[in-house]
């Protein structure tokens, strides 16, 4: 296998930010989640990303969260900072701060709302890449940004900047994965941005997943990926089929509302999200827990 430009691992968890009843960041619970994710076999975590409710975090909170998680995991997994913005100057500033605070890499989202052209994306990410030495994983998610970064744009950035090392691709069009693989250097890494698409994307060259479900079934996702990569394709497919209902269920409401509700049922965090998100009701939380328990029972027999 080709040596990767940068390997953050196969299972990267897009980490929640726990809040208390006052909607303040709960740093004690943040430490608990960090330790829990190591137990769940996360190779890396993303802090202050979409699942971490970055739109409602202050920059000061983001920096404290990074410091807290880095201190807690103590090198047991990589810590990636969500440092994107729809302002190039802000994204550059956030990326520099992430480097200063010791992040292992940054995840940088396609600018949202202002809908730049493909040339605008090249200039945006080029400015970020020139401002830091950190590995940069691009984050392409048309459903949240309003635009799709073309495979040719991704390829141009991958060839032009050695520290642009990969892409988190949240798009169900698998032809785009094939195009990215064909156009980009062999050492450029592709991550699935959707749990349910991890195995399909891996079949055409993805390395792993930036996952939400790995908060609760990380070791099972890791097993699925390992089985696929070692040739046990049927076992990987069987695991995918077992995990699929939970993959879909944790997006029954806007992310991260469902996964936070589930983690609260497990006693790891409080069931709190910042407005404009609203908490799931008790019935929905029970449905989630029941789905998880069914998945765990089935995987325990494998």
Residue 168: active-site member? yes
Compute how many other C-beta atoms are within 10 angstroms of the C-beta atom of residue 275.
7
Tokens (6 digits) for 29 = 């619970």
Q: In a 10 Å sphere around its CB, with 0-12 CB exposed, 13-18 middle and 19+ buried, how is residue 112 labelled?
A: middle
Describe the chain by its helix, strand, coil percentages, rounded to 5: 50, 15, 35
Tokens (6 digits) for 174 = 């698998």
State the Cα–Cα distance between residues 218 and 153, nearest whole angstrom: 32
State the Cα–Cα distance between residues 135 and 157, nearest whole angstrom: 13
Q: In a 10 Å sphere around its CB, with 0-12 CB exposed, 13-18 middle and 19+ buried, how is residue 301 labelled?
A: exposed
Contact criterion met (CB below 8 Å) for 215 and 30: no
- Single out the catalytic residue among 168, 222, 249, 260: 168
Closest C-alpha among 46, 39, 53, 49 to residue 13: 46
The upper half-sphere exposure of residue 270, i.e. CA atoms within 13 Å in the direction of its Cβ, equals 15
For residue 79, report the phi and psi dihedrals to the nearest 5 degrees. -120, 115
Helix or strand or coil: residue 43?
Answer: coil
Kind plus residue range of the DSSP H or E element containing 105 = strand 105-109
In sequence order, the β-bridge partners of residue 293 are none
Residue 139: active-site member? yes
- Single out the catalytic residue among 6, 41, 139, 260: 139
Tell me how many degrees the CA angle 33-34-39 measures, rounded to the nearest 5: 90
Those residues with Cβ within 8 angstroms of residue 90's Cβ, 6 or more apart along the chain or in another chain: none
Please give the positions annotated as active site.
Answer: 139, 168
């Amino acid at each position: 296998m080709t040596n990767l430009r940068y390997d953050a691992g196969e299972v990267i968890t897009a980490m929640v930010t726990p809040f208390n009843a006052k909607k303040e960041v709960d740093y004690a619970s943040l430490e608990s989640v960090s330790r829990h994710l190591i137990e769940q076999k996360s190779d890396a975590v993303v802090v202050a990303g979409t699942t971490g409710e970055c739109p409602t975090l202050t920059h000061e909170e983001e920096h404290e969260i990074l410091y807290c998680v880095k201190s807690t995991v103590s090198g047991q997994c990589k810590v990636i900072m969500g440092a994107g913005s729809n302002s190039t100057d802000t994204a550059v500033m956030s990326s520099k701060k992430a480097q200063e605070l010791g992040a292992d890499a940054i995840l940088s989202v396609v600018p949202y709302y202002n809908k730049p052209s493909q040339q605008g994306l090249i200039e945006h990410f080029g400015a970020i890449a020139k401002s830091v030495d950190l590995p940069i994983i691009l984050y392409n998610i048309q459903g949240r940004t309003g635009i799709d970064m073309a495979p040719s744009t991704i390829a141009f950035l991958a060839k032009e900047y050695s520290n642009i090392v990969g892409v988190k691709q949240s798009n169900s069009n698998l032809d785009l994965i094939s195009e990215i693989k064909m156009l980009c250097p062999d050492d450029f890494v592709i991550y699935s941005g959707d749990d349910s698409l991890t195995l399909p994307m891996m079949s055409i060259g993805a390395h792993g997943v930036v996952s939400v479900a790995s908060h609760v079934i990380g070791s099972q996702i890791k097993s699925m990926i390992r089985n696929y990569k070692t040739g046990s394709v049927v076992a990987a497919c069987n695991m995918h089929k077992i995990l699929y209902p939970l993959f879909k269920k944790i997006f029954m409401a806007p992310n991260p509302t469902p996964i936070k509700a589930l983690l609260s049922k497990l006693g790891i965090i409080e069931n709190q999200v910042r407005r404009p998100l609203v908490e799931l009701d008790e019935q929905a939380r029970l449905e989630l827990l029941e789905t998880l328990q069914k998945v765990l029972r089935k995987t325990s027999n494998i």
